[in-house]
């Protein structure tokens, strides 16, 4: 029988090329379960040498626990032959020559060759796919656990708010003022629930961004660390220094991402309070300039103009530092090396006005309306890293100081941000 199949096979050279070059494993099996032909992919997949599978019983490719039942399956297929996928709804396992098992996907067809019934099996090793499916399943389980925990927190918050409403209703017949208080509590309840929904959306978005933004710097750190070890053994200090700088840059990027999310979380929860103190404004700007220097690109520098008549003013150094650091970091990030960044400050009608100007890529005119939205990134940032949270955080900090922020930007020429803060 094997000889008959081979004669038919050799007469179709095109079929032979397809059979030998297929990316899937292909087996041709007689109606008695004997392997007649096996292409190179299937031989490699099961760990056999060229031609070694021919003449062997098909069941040697199955784990021993499945072999008895599989004989019955073959008989059923012979009685009712039709192209079909095997194992739909359950996992199929195969076994290599060395005894190791692995998951497969199998499609069956059949052919009459010289009045002989031949089964054609197409086999794919799906080991990697199963690994990915398991990883996704684990991620989904973790998300479900997180969602359940979050739901409990929302329920606790809702129960507490409902208790507050009930207490206000009981006191309503004693004091008319409690009516207003109850309405206020109801409004706070709605705001709290809206904030919970925003937090849910924020954390969902964070999972998406973190999986993307964290992957690149972490891969850089890992590869550079491995290369440093090699260069250390070779005594190549210059290359070691280069990769140390890459690691530092990646760590700084990760730190910036985490700082953005921590700042946004504190702002969302209302945990940031304004604490004003008397500050020498010019010294404060000098400190900021020195602090930002290590993060600037090659040749970039900050030109500071601070000609203020009143040298000491009341302000919250911590909040203003976060505002300026975000804006200066953006100015550096979106500008080319050797480009200057300008800071100017002055008083105007009892307000402190601070402007930060760069000569960077600017913002497309059609997108400026989205500039302070959470997670917004302009279309021209290309491969520049970022979370899209910086300017949203800046706007929230400025609002916290009862100030305003304006900007003027031209794509390809740069941007200018102006902050106006009232002096209380």
Q: What pLDDT, on a 0 to 100 scale, did the predictor assign at position 48?
A: 94
Domains recognised in the chain with CATH numbers = 2-125 (3.30.450.20), 127-210 (no CATH), 214-268 (no CATH), 277-422 (3.30.565.10)
* 85 close to 105: Cβ distance less than 8 angstroms: yes
Question: DSSP secondary structure string, 328-346?
Answer: HHHHHHTS-TT-EEEEEEE
CA-CA distance, 254 to 248, in Å (whole number)? 10
| pLDDT tens per residue, range 282-298 | 888 888 888 778 778 88
Alpha-carbon Rg for the chain, nearest whole angstrom, is 34
**Per-position b or e across 87-104, b if 16+ CB within 10 A of its CB:** eeeeebebbeeeeeeebb
Q: What pLDDT, on a 0 to 100 scale, did the predictor assign at position 96?
A: 94
Q: What are the residues whose beta carbons fall under 8 Å from the beta carbon of 404, sequence distance 6 or more?
A: 398, 419, 420
pTM, entire model: 0.43
Q: What pLDDT, on a 0 to 100 scale, did the predictor assign at position 355?
A: 92
Q: What pLDDT, on a 0 to 100 scale, did the predictor assign at position 284?
A: 86
Q: What pLDDT, on a 0 to 100 scale, did the predictor assign at position 346?
A: 87
* 331 close to 360: Cβ distance less than 8 angstroms: yes
Q: What pLDDT, on a 0 to 100 scale, did the predictor assign at position 217?
A: 57
CA-CA distance, 267 to 397, in Å (whole number)? 8
Residue 364, φ and ψ in degrees, nearest 5: -55, 140
CB atoms within 10 A of CB 49: 9
* 93 close to 69: Cβ distance less than 8 angstroms: no
Q: What pLDDT, on a 0 to 100 scale, did the predictor assign at position 316?
A: 82
Residue 409 pairs in a beta bridge with 415
Q: pLDDT under 50 in the chain at which residues? A: 7-9, 212
What are 14's two structure tokens? 């095109």
Q: What pLDDT, on a 0 to 100 scale, did the predictor assign at position 210?
A: 54
CA-CA distance, 264 to 187, in Å (whole number)? 23
* Residue (of 87, 69, 73, 80) closest to 124 by Cα position: 87
Q: What pLDDT, on a 0 to 100 scale, did the predictor assign at position 270?
A: 63
DSSP E strands, 61-129? 84-86, 92-95, 101-113, 116-125
Q: What are the residues whose beta carbons fall under 8 Å from the beta carbon of 13, sequence distance 6 or more?
A: none
């Amino acid at each position: 029988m094997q000889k008959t199949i081979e004669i038919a096979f050799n007469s179709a050279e095109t079929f032979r090329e397809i059979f030998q070059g297929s990316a899937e494993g292909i087996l041709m099996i007689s109606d008695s379960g004997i392997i007649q032909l096996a292409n190179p992919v299937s031989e490699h997949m099961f760990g056999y040498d060229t031609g070694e599978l021919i003449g062997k019983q098909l069941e040697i490719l199955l784990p021993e626990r499945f072999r008895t039942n599989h004989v019955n399956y073959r008989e059923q297929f012979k009685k009712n032959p039709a192209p079909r996928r095997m194992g739909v709804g359950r996992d199929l396992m195969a076994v290599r020559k060395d005894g190791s098992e692995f998951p497969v996907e199998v499609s069956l067809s059949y052919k009459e060759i010289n009045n002989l019934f031949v089964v054609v099996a197409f086999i794919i090793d799906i080991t990697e796919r199963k690994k990915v499916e398991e990883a996704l399943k684990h991620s989904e389980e973790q998300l479900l656990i997180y969602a359940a925990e979050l739901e409990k927190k929302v329920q606790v918050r809702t129960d507490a708010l409902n208790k507050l409403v009930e207490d206000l209703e009981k006191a309503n017949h004693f004091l008319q003022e409690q009516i207003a208080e109850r309405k206020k509590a109801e409004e706070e309840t709605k705001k709290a629930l809206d904030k919970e929904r925003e937090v849910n959306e924020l954390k969902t978005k964070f999972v998406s961004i973190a999986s993307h933004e964290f992957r690149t710097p972490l891969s850089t750190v890992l590869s550079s660390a491995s290369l440093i070890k090699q260069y250390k053994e070779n005594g190549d200090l210059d290359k070691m220094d280069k990769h140390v700088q890459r690691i530092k840059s990646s760590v700084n990027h990760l730190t910036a991402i985490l700082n953005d999310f921590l700042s946004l979380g504190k702002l969302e929860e209302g945990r940031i309070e304004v604490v004003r103190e008397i500050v020498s404004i010019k010294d404060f700007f000098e400190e900021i300039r020195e602090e930002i220097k290590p993060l600037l690109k090659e040749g970039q520098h900050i030109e500071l103009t601070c000609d203020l008549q009143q040298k000491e003013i009341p302000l919250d150094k911590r909040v203003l530092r976060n505002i300026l650091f975000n804006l200066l970091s953006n100015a550096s990030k979106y500008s080319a090396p050797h480009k200057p960044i300008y800071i100017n400050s002055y008083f105007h009608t009892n307000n402190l006005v601070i402007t930060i100007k760069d000569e960077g890529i600017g913002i497309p005119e059609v997108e400026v309306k989205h500039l302070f939205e959470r997670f917004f990134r302009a279309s021209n940032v290309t491969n520049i890293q970022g979370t899209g949270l910086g300017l949203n955080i800046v706007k929230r900090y400025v609002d916290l100081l009862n100030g305003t922020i304006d900007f003027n930007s031209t794509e390809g020429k740069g941007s200018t941000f102006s902050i106006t803060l009232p002096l209380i």
